[in-house]
Structure 1
């Protein structure tokens, strides 16, 4: 059996799961062979999965969770691994988001998913037509798991520009909005997160054409994700990327400075009390 390898849990979903599995196994004092015997999988497979060299099946995750008495802590990571809760067209973006060293986003309607509270995300996702409660809950958990990238040891720089209308759109009710805006102002205190607000008084702006995210990756061309009412679009076509860079700069030029924006967010939170 190969010697244990210390994984960086922030290296990706498989590394994070492998790290959590090893932690749970060691908490009960079992070897890889003992765990393998109880879940009826091979010790080599347990080793491969703990070292993030092979993805686990849902059956494997369920058996480990039960055998180790993890009370669902391992199973809750399944959406992160399988991406089953995310539309197929969005899964490409999830990989890009994980690898990006810088993310820039413009959001004219909603708080971006990476900064949403669980209650706010649930209110947004349950509002989609034809979505069952079970589907919405899976999507909520998948969205929350994405937020891991902001708390890892090497988080991306996240530049956020919001329309002021986002602060006043009643998503989920007063308590949900208050907690969401309090969370937003707290997150904006991070040196890796910048939040600016475009004043509502400007009226029509370039940004009303829709939200988007620009991802910068080391050694790769910038990639953008454009939101739409149906399927989103992920592209690294230079003409699209350049056009969105120009649009983002134009929108950001109209936004309040960060310290003014944070004060606006705090004031808006109080209006929902």
Structure 2
């Protein structure tokens, strides 16, 4: 089996392709409408490789989609085997209802928050962490496409207040959630901390609706996640969703609470 390219390999090939064309970082940046410092960051790191940057690179240097293809291959291999079926469903969904009592959902995480989460989890090599961060950020592209899914995320207030990474990471993450309030296709609603025990605290879940009306759910545990589509399971999770959504503050009140918590992380 052919070896999957690494991020280091991809960055090295970006440098080689630029130098082969006789371009400096400043010259390439002008062609791509990126700063020279951004070109350097793409070639050396530590910032994430941008799909937009690679698409422009392929077009301007006429590389036939090579670099976008390499990035997609790395992303696919970074995802755990058990996640890939759900990844396909997530990309095809027209609506997502996501509840999490413990962490910010992957589709709403900042790069820094995602990296801090992975670094705090089971031991992974730094290169593997970077690949998984890359894959997680790539998933978020569905929210920026022309016809994005409608996403409603219900989070427990403790998610906003439990520190992941340093304080700057938390401030950036909560500010990011606040900014999402400007998007009509994304709702973030918060269950206040003073809410007594409610059924949703038993664990996170996601309900996805596909274009033809089919509904599928995803559940996570300590080892892996799994997809469920049995009518009884879906009905049970639907009732659970009604419970957690009923406990959550309305959209505008949630936005005010998120803004308040963001200030506490400064």
TM-score, structure 1 length as denominator? 0.74
CA distance 1:244–1:24, change in 2 (3 Å): same
In structure 2, distance between residues paired with 1:232 and 1:132:
21
Distance (whole Å) between structure 2 residues aligned to residue 128 and residue 97 of structure 1: 23
- Residue 27 (str. 1) matches residue 60 (str. 2): yes
2:215 matches 1:222: yes
CA contact (8 A) 1:171 1:177 kept: yes
| Counterparts of 2:240 and 2:101, CA distance in 1 | 13
Deviation at 1:127, TM superposition (A): 1.3
Match of 2:72 among 54, 77, 80: 77
Give the gaps of 5 or more residues in structure 1.
1-16, 36-45, 51-63, 66-72
C-alpha spacing 1:27/1:177, structure 2 compared with 1 (3 Å): same
**1:160 aligns with one of 129, 153, 163:** 153
Q: Please list every run of at least 4 consecutive aligned residues from structure 1 whose deviation after the TM superposition is greater than 6 angstroms.
A: 19-22
In 1, Cα distance between the equivalents of 2:158 and 2:59? 49
1:173 aligned partner: 166
What does residue 243 of structure 2 align with?
Answer: 250
CA contact (8 A) 1:98 1:149 kept: yes
The aligned runs of 1:160-239 (5 Å cut-off) are 160-219=153-212, 221-239=214-232
SS at match of 2:194: helix
Residue aligning to 1:142 = 135
What SS does the corresponding residue of 1:204 show, helix, strand or coil?
A: coil
Distance 2:130 2:215 in 1: 32
**Residues 158-210 of structure 1: per-residue CA shift (max 9 Å, x gap):** 00100010010000011100000000010122000011100111131111110
SS in 2 for 1:120: helix
* Distance in 2, Cα, partners of 1:164 & 1:21: 37
Compute the TM-score of the two structures, normalised by the length of structure 2. Answer: 0.76
Contact kept? 1:103, 1:213, Cα under 8 Å: yes
Partners of 2:244 and 2:250 lie apart in 1 by 12
1:116 and 2:149 matched: no
Answer yes or no: is the 8 Å Cα contact 1:108–1:211 preserved in 2.
Answer: yes
- Counterpart CA distance in 2 for 1:116 and 1:234 is 21
Q: Secondary structure at the match of 1:98?
A: helix
Structure 2: where are the runs of 5+ without partners? 1-50
CA pair 23-176 structure 1, distance change in 2 beyond 3 A: closer
Is the 8 Å Cα contact of residues 21 and 74 (structure 1) preserved in structure 2?
no
1:243-271 deviations in whole A, cap 9, x for unaligned?
10110011101111110101101100100
